[in-house]
C-alpha cells in the first residue's frame, strides 16, 4: 500500500501539495511546526486512499514529502 510521509518541521504551509493531490487527502495539521506553520499531512484514515502517484512530492518546493509505493 502506498504511503506518504512528511518532514513536518520543513513545511511552510504553502498548500501546493494539497492542490496537487488527485485524491484530495492532504490537509493541514492542527499543530504548529517549528517555523510556525500548520504542516501538511495525511491522516491515518485517509492514507488508505493514497494511490502513490507522487504528485504531492513533485509539487513540494521544500522536499518535505516522501512517497513509498
Residue ranges that bind ligand SF4, judged by CB under 6 A: 2, 4, 6, 11-17, 20-23, 25-26, 40, 42, 50-56, 59-60, 62, 64-65, 67
CB of 64 to ligand SF4, least distance (A): 4
Beta bridge mates, 3: 68
CB of 31 to ligand SF4, least distance (A): 14
Listing DSSP states for 14-61 in one string gives --HHHHH-TT---EE-SS--TTS---EE--HHHHTT-----HHHHH-T
CB of 33 to ligand SF4, least distance (A): 9
Amino acid at each position: 500500500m502506498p504511503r506518504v510521509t512528511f518532514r513536518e518541521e520543513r513545511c511552510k504551509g504553502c498548500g501546493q501539495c494539497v492542490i496537487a493531490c488527485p485524491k484530495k487527502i492532504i490537509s493541514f495539521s492542527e499543530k504548529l511546526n517549528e517555523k510556525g506553520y500548520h504542516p501538511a499531512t495525511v491522516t491515518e484514515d485517509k492514507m488508505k486512499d493514497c494511490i502513490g502517484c507522487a504528485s504531492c512530492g513533485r509539487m513540494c518546493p521544500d522536499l518535505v514529502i516522501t512517497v513509498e509505493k
